[in-house]
Structure 1
Amino acid sequence: MTTATNAPAWTTAVDDAPIAVAAAADLVAIAGAGGTAWILEAATGTPVGTVTLPGGLLAAAFSPDAAHLALSGPVGHALWRRADGRVLAEQTGAWSSAVRWAAPDRLAVASGRRALVLDTDGAQQWATDPAPSTVTDVAWLREGRRLASSAYGGVRCHERHTDKPVAEYKYLGSHLAIALNPNGRWICTGNQDSSIHIWRTRDGDDLTMQGYPEKIARLAFDDTGRWLASDGAPDITVWEFSGKGPAGTSPRSLRAHETITALAWRPGSSAVLASAGAEGTVAFWRADSGRPGTRVKPTWMRELPEPVTAMAWADPHTLVIADYEGRIEAWPLPDSLAR
């Protein structure tokens, strides 16, 4: 393990506690808990604009071309258009904890017990029928032709303009996060009952990864779909999905934090994961090092004066981090990981 001493590429600050960092193309957005998102140039940190959603923010996502920024929060959602700075805010009164783009022109929003599909003008294209409880996360599969949403009792999938689900993956409990591997073969949820539940989409075969001491709120596949990272303990676990999947296997694990606050896979196929903890540490590690069932040491680590609350890769060589006090830094990838 090495401890970082190199300086950030740029540093700035926002006047709020960041809850999310989003990045696409040449832009980065810092979403503050109070309801304002700051939009910055990814290369320099120069401010581009701000968007405010009254009532606070919970999630942020750029469209793939960075032409639009979607935000959601406890009372609704908002859209910002880069071309003219137009902001459309919808205060629906519905808890909205997730936004996901399927393409530059199509957006899914978790809105209360429904998932809404909007165009870039904020117009509703269609909506799912009510789930058993508040929709906690949404994700796209089949190249944006099918929408998955999680709520109490499992995951429901909808095709375009279908309010009733075309497929259901059931598991009794509260599902907090969805992760889909890129080819759509696996649907995974992180759950309130301290488990990860996994379904194979073609036939619904499922399995449960249990034994975590805490709920699973952060769950993410890398770009290849081979590695699934999760929180749920002081250890980060990484399950391997090559071949027939993780059934009967053990995960690799990393312990570098007291409480995990952020996870972010480096874009591409490098198997590099960035993680952050409430004690103020940020670590990089390689998922393909070590063996299943072993604890892997961080390749690179740095300590900060404040807890990191959110992070995102601006590009494969730059990680943008945000701490509790609103300090934002862009870190170049360490040379030891640049392969």
Structure 2
Amino acid sequence: MPTVAPLDIDGHVLAVEFLRDTPFFVSAAGAVHRLEGGEKVSEAGQGLLTVIRDPYSDSLVAGGEDGKVQRISASGEVTELAHAPRKWITQLAAGPQEAIAYAYGKSTFVRLADGTTKEFTEERTVEGIAFAPKGLRVAVARYNGVSLHWVGMTAQPTILEWKGAHTGVVFSPDGQFVVTTMQENALHGWKMDVKSGAEARHMRMTGYPAKVKSLSWSAKGKWLASSGAPAAIVWPFQGKDGPMGKAPLELGTRANIMATCVRFHPLEDILAIGFIDGMILAVRISDNKEALLRRPGKGAITSMSWSKSGKLMAFASEAGDCGVVDISA
């Protein structure tokens, strides 16, 4: 049976991520708690709105109500990367070559390693941003679709159109697909192998009873897990056409209790599913075998993260009841 080491933090916890083998818990109030030979706390300003892990370095990037974009290192040190006074920073992405993207209003800004910044403007408000896995290219989600910008070029962006409000965006690990979350209870996807002048092929992923707030790709990119239902909805991407014409898996089904967070294991096709009542299940894709990682708690699971080895899984909740699960026990 997995063992759980609990950690109580005051208020809403936005994110938990492992840096090296240390779990970092970041609260909306700006406190950064790291479990490194005991609990250590540093401050990242007041009123954080979003926190992401930089996949290219051992650091986190945070944005807040004070208009600051900050990097949090593995030692807990906080460094300011950008500042947009009187703006709320709600969208962040981290890319190759130390590039960081942030957005407010109708503009996306890409800050390069040398400190220079490039601005890309849209006709509508930016709702989500993501870097492509190869090349310095950024996807911007907005009303009626996605714009794809090459950071180092002045060329016109590639436009992926689909009517409706797109609230977030991700690339598949191989760069072959772009998928958005939508204001309606759906995902939408495009296949990226289009020839010049041709329209990208669409994938409609619908049928959710609630909005999708959490997405996670499996280690090899064969599966895309999503929240927004009383189970994790997991779409197949192993074929060249992705989920076109295929039904998703439904893992960890629980009557009327909604899944709020999903996170794939870093090495195996095992999915951690966090629910609105604080319970966490792990489900193996190959045989649907379930393991209870945590019993229900005080609040909905807002974030989960695996250590690099996959032996530890940290979780955070909106009520601040957090912890680390040791699944090697």
- TM-score with structure 1 setting the length: 0.83
The RMSD of aligned alpha carbons is 2.6
User: Take 2:154 and 2:221, find their aligned partners in 1: how far apart are those partners?
Assistant: 29
1:184 Cα shift?
A: 0.4
Q: Contact conserved, 1:191 with 1:217, CA < 8 A, in 2?
A: no
**Is the alpha carbon distance of 1:119 and 1:69 closer, same or farther for their aligned partners in structure 2, counting shifts above 3 Å?**
farther
Mapping for residues 148-159 of structure 1, pairs under 5 Å: 148-159=139-150
Given candidates 18, 36, 44, the residue that maps to 1:23 is 18
Unaligned stretches of 5+ in structure 1? 290-295
**Is the alpha carbon distance of 1:45 and 1:225 closer, same or farther for their aligned partners in structure 2, counting shifts above 3 Å?**
farther
1:219 Cα shift?
A: 2.2
Q: Which residue of 2 aligns with 1:292?
A: none
1:253 maps to a residue whose letter is: E
- 1:106-153 CA-partner distances (Å, limit 9, x unpaired): 2112333222112468x34212123412x2221111424211111111
Q: Which residue of 2 aligns with 1:200?
A: 191
Q: Contact conserved, 1:110 with 1:116, CA < 8 A, in 2?
A: yes
User: Take 2:247 and 2:76, find their aligned partners in 1: how far apart are those partners?
Assistant: 50
**Is the alpha carbon distance of 1:304 and 1:214 closer, same or farther for their aligned partners in structure 2, counting shifts above 3 Å?**
closer
User: Take 2:220 and 2:231, find their aligned partners in 1: how far apart are those partners?
Assistant: 22
Mapping for residues 85-100 of structure 1, pairs under 5 Å: 85-88=77-80, 90-100=83-93
Q: Which residue of 2 aligns with 1:271?
A: 269
Q: Contact conserved, 1:125 with 1:161, CA < 8 A, in 2?
A: no
Given candidates 206, 209, 213, the residue that maps to 1:210 is 206
**Is the alpha carbon distance of 1:152 and 1:164 closer, same or farther for their aligned partners in structure 2, counting shifts above 3 Å?**
farther
Q: Which residue of 1 aligns with 2:302?
A: 309
Q: Which residue of 2 aligns with 1:248?
A: 245
Q: Which residue of 2 aligns with 1:12?
A: 7
Q: Which residue of 2 aligns with 1:60?
A: 52
User: Take 1:179 and 1:248, find their aligned partners in 2: how far apart are those partners?
Assistant: 21
Q: Contact conserved, 1:114 with 1:131, CA < 8 A, in 2?
A: no
Mapping for residues 46-85 of structure 1, pairs under 5 Å: 46-47=39-40, 49-52=42-45, 54-62=46-54, 64-66=56-58, 68-80=59-71, 82=73, 85=77
1:47 maps to a residue whose letter is: K
User: Take 2:164 and 2:38, find their aligned partners in 1: how far apart are those partners?
Assistant: 42
1:322 maps to a residue whose letter is: A
Q: Contact conserved, 1:63 with 1:104, CA < 8 A, in 2?
A: no
User: Take 2:68 and 2:155, find their aligned partners in 1: how far apart are those partners?
Assistant: 23
2:63 maps to a residue whose letter is: S
- 1:260-299 CA-partner distances (Å, limit 9, x unpaired): 221111112x11111111112111112233xxxxxx4633
Q: Contact conserved, 2:31 with 2:41, CA < 8 A, in 1?
A: no
Q: Which residue of 2 aligns with 1:283?
A: 281
**Is the alpha carbon distance of 1:287 and 1:48 closer, same or farther for their aligned partners in structure 2, counting shifts above 3 Å?**
same
User: Take 2:239 and 2:204, find their aligned partners in 1: how far apart are those partners?
Assistant: 18
Q: Which residue of 1 aligns with 2:106?
A: 113
- State how many pairs are aligned: 317
**Is the alpha carbon distance of 1:249 and 1:157 closer, same or farther for their aligned partners in structure 2, counting shifts above 3 Å?**
same
Unaligned stretches of 5+ in structure 2? 195-199
**Is the alpha carbon distance of 1:74 and 1:51 closer, same or farther for their aligned partners in structure 2, counting shifts above 3 Å?**
closer
Residue identity (%)? 23
Q: Which residue of 1 aligns with 2:120?
A: 128
Q: Does structure 1 residue 233 correspond to structure 2 residue 225? A: no
1:56 Cα shift?
A: 3.3
- TM-score with structure 2 setting the length: 0.86
